[in-house]
Structure 1
Amino acid sequence: MTAGLARVDLADPDLYATGDPHAVWRRLRASDPVHWQPPTGGRPGFWSVTRYTDVDRVLSDHATFTSERGTLLNLLGRPDPAAGRQLAATDPPRHDRMRAPLQQALSPRAVQRCVPHVAAAVDRVLDPVRQAAGGVVDLVPVLRLLPLAAAGPLLGLPTPDWPRLATLAAMCAAEDDAEVQLPGGVEATLARGHRELFAYFADLVRQRSRTPGDDLISVLVRMRFDGGPLRPSAVVANCYSLLLGAAVTLPCVPAATVAHLGATGRWRGFADQPDLLDDAVEEALRYASPAMHFMRQVRSPARLGDTDLNEGDAVVAWLAAANRDPAVFVDPDRFVPTRRPNRHLTFGSGRHYCIGANLARLTLRLLFGALAREFADLEPAGPVVRVRSTFLAGIKRLPVTPRRHR
């Protein structure tokens, strides 16, 4: 390991807000692909993996790497209260039994039935962009409501609640960022976000228990699991996970794509090729990699690459680094809308593959299709400002000038 890499702190949110994490990951992939991050500031040390093959293994090999002791860096060094109750924090085979009803409700066929309401949601969300044609609009507030407009009806979330839910979700996923951080700091921000979201969903779960509907919360309430219904706390934990999966990561993909295409003057070419839409969506997902990492812990002594890991070691799998691995992707730092194959890890790998992937792809296809039809260009109109977070590859300022087709 070089001296420069020894000084890098991959748990420092400033690296992702103002630095160049891809340059760091590039060096780690080449010279220290299983990298030990020493303890700092009372935080335990952890291993970081940046190569595609290692990230894929850590995410998919649940026999060696458990999800039940914390899945994000903000849980490092403390137990995960959702372990065994929330899909993301539960290992197979229990995970598989819990996942089956939700997977059926979010199957490609089921999601295809959502096209009319998602298309209508996209149309509503883009109104401020249309109104700003020829002027300047910040795309971030526009895109922030998109996932809730798409997933809200599936979860049965009342429309007036969407803005507040989006803010609370951001507090739980980007707690280091000044835009959402409370005066009490990171811990206070996480505590408030978690407390209010869990209380909100607890109320909804009680309502659905009395009057079930056809939404996903009702599916969870009716679910039979290990001989009985899911406990209310498990239903709430999974509602929270579904919300975060939709609300905080999805807007990052179109924001990163528009920012890159605008900065490189390539939006017009993108908009003029609607036949490439499906491939372009996959490339946008790879390029943006909105969830930068997931964490696992080692169940028993194991070997990863040339490195021996001990039982209990935390391993952070950097999806965003794996998605730029030149061993898998030719010219990985370039946005190539025709890229095939494109086996990115944006939705994870193995049994924990994102359960909302079908809905996310549908929403992005409809959004990019609408933007390409209506706008010949989305010119940069100011500096892009990134979110300060170790988890979320987000953008919080994206001013553009929309130009309609003539």
Structure 2
Amino acid sequence: MRPPPDPAALDDLDLLDPRLHAVHDLTPLWRRLRATDPVRRHDRFWSVTRHADVLRVVRDPDTYTSLRGNMLRTLLRGHDPGAGRMIVVTDGPRHAVLRRLLTPGFGPRALGPVTRSITEATKDLLAAFVAGGGGDFVGQVAAQVPLRAICELLGVPERDRQRVLELTAQAMLGEEEADLSARIAQSEILLYYTRLAAERQTSPGDDVISLLVSADLTEEEVLLNCYNLIIGGDETARLAMAGGLLALATHDAQWARLRGDPALVAPATEEILRWTTPAAHVGRVATRTAELGGRRIEAGDVLALWTASANRDETVFDDPDRFDVARQPNRHLTFGHGPHFCLGAQLARAEIQALLSELRATVSRIELTGPVTWLPSSFVNGVVTLPVALT
């Protein structure tokens, strides 16, 4: 497991350094900031680490906007090129329009067949994984299920799915789109969806792309939102599934509790989402002078809302550094809150629940078989490789 940073160095850590997040468990840092400096000023941004302060910001898009972007590195470079056109970086009336447009694509009617497909895919992938003697759980299972689900929601034809899965995996290798191979893959994904959107204009279906092309959106808005859905729709579930399996592998008593009680699948899913917190932070920019946590925030100031810290807040979660598959209540902020609450939350939950249910039914022992590696990213939190054997 990742060691904590040197206690003497906590005040000097560079939170923008992607290697810091890959090498160290920052739990002690978040604990100190919540206790002593919950709204902390850095050279170019504020760190917000308490649950209540994060909630206050995300509930107030008029004062703290996402219109310039929602990732710290992007905000410090200037602004997100998709701002005002892509749902996650849009506020106000335009955001409401995009959300109303996309919501049916993630409703019960649309998710019913996808959920059934998820269950079957999870069963098949786990069976193959066990039969093959194990391997890298991230690449062989956790990366496959959510991408297949998103491909179904977007109406990607079966013949194209393997290539789309490969491109999407490649697109997420770089830190904040800095890696050349990741940028090339991102461009190829956009080109693919350009062609698919053109097909949907003449032959619409029941998928999300058909919803987008049938609305009053520009071609660029359609493409940006497709890209956001397939990238964002993969990350939370993939990283939560992998991190959840790692947590079960390293907490034998909790795995035994889950195996013994099917009623724990739902609360265990929420605990995995809290424990893993795949999006370590979300970014906002102040539109006017405001007070937050006793500090004066000026118009134009950049804020990093550290969800990874808020999900361990002692004032909200009892014994927050304990992994507890029966934890209730569990008011985690993994899916955000307020206007930007994740559209795909129910899909991600269905994917994790399908995994836990199948693990309970077919696996007795989870054993780590090699070193675990972590993503070098200040934005996305999770494991890159997870070598395990399932008995």
Q: TM-score range by the shorter chain?
A: over 0.9
| Aligned equivalent of 2:25, options 9, 20, 27 | 20
Q: 1:4 to 1:49 in 2, by over 3 A?
A: same
Letter in 1 for 2:301: D
| Cα displacement (A) at 1:32 | 1.1
CA RMSD in angstroms comes to 2.0
Q: Please give the secondary structure, in 1, of the residue aligned with 2:367.
A: strand
Higher alpha-carbon deviation: 138-147 or 266-275: 266-275
- Equivalence for 1:246: 233
The 2-side partners of 1:60 and 1:174 are apart by 31
In 2, the alpha carbon distance for the partners of 1:5 and 1:308 equals 24
Partners in 1 of 2:167 and 2:149 — Cα distance?
A: 18
TM superposition shift of 1:160: 4.8
Structure 1: stretches of 5+ with no match in the other structure:
39-44, 224-228
- Asked if structure 1 preserves the Cα contact closer than 8 Å seen for 2:34 and 2:49, the reply is yes
Give the letter aligned to residue 148 of structure 2.
Answer: A
Secondary structure at the counterpart of residue 303 of structure 1? strand
Q: Distance in 2 between matches of 1:356 and 1:95?
A: 16
Aligned to 2:189: 197
Q: Distance in 2 between matches of 1:164 and 1:12?
A: 32
Tell whether the 8 Å contact from 2:240 to 2:278 is kept in structure 1 after alignment.
yes
Equivalent residues of 2:55, 2:337 under 8 A apart:
yes
CA distance in 2, matches of 1:150, 1:378: 25
The SS at the match of 2:152 is helix
Q: Hey, what's the Cα distance between the residues in 1 that align with 2:285 and 2:26?
A: 23
Q: What is the CA distance between 1:264 and its match in structure 2?
A: 2.6
User: Letter of the aligned partner of 2:191 in structure 1?
Assistant: A
Give the whole-Å Cα distance in 1 for the aligned partners of 2:79 and 2:131.
48
User: After superposition, what is the alpha-carbon deviation per residue over 1:219-239, rounded to whole angstroms, capped at 9, x for unaligned?
Assistant: 11112xxxxx11110011110
Q: Among residues 331, 335, 343, which one is paired with 2:331 in the alignment?
A: 343
Counterparts in 2 of 1:367-406, with a 5 A limit? Answer: 367-403=355-391
Going from structure 1 to structure 2, the CA distance change for 1:325 and 1:139 (only over 3 Å counts) comes to same
Indicate which of 139, 142, 145 corresponds to 1:141: 139
The superposition leaves residues 292-330 of structure 1 with CA deviations (integer Å, 9 ceiling, x where unpaired) of 111010111111111111111110111111111111000
8 Å CA contact 1:9, 1:37 repeated in 2: no
Aligned to 1:251, what secondary structure does the other structure show?
helix
Shift of 1:350: 0.4
Map Cα deviations across residues 117-144 of structure 1 (whole Å, 9 max, x no partner). Answer: 2222222322332313xx3422111211
Q: Which moved more, 1:373-382 or 1:100-109?
A: 100-109
Identify the residue that residue 30 of structure 1 maps to in structure 2. 35
Aligned to 1:221: 213
More helix by share: 2
> Which of residues 268, 280, 287 in structure 2 aligns to 1:280?
268
Change (3 A) 1:167 1:298: farther
* Aligned twin of 1:70: 69
* CA–CA distance in structure 2, aligned partners of residues 169 and 312 of structure 1: 33
Query: Within the alignment, does 1:101 sit opposite 2:106 as a pair?
Result: no
Asked whether the 8 Å contact 1:166–1:248 carries over to 2, the reply is: no
Residues 89-128 of structure 1 correspond to what in structure 2 (within 5 A)?
Answer: 89-128=89-128
- Quote how far apart the aligned CAs of 1:176 are: 3.1
Aligned partner of 1:226 in structure 2 is: none
Q: Is the 8 A contact 2:114 2:152 kept in 1?
A: no
Whether the 8 Å CA contact 1:173–1:392 is kept in 2: the answer is no
- The Cα shift of 1:116 comes to 2.1
CA pair 166-114 structure 1, distance change in 2 beyond 3 A? closer
Q: Percent identity?
A: 39
How far is the alpha carbon of 1:149 from its aligned partner? 1.6
Contact 1:254 1:364 in 2 (8 A): yes
Conservation of the 8 A alpha-carbon contact between 1:384 and 1:397: yes
TM-score, normalisation: structure 2: 0.92
SS of equivalent residue, structure 1 residue 126: helix
Separation in 1, partners of 2:238, 2:272 = 11
CA separation in 2, counterparts of 1:164 and 1:25? 39
Contact kept? 2:130, 2:389, Cα under 8 Å: no
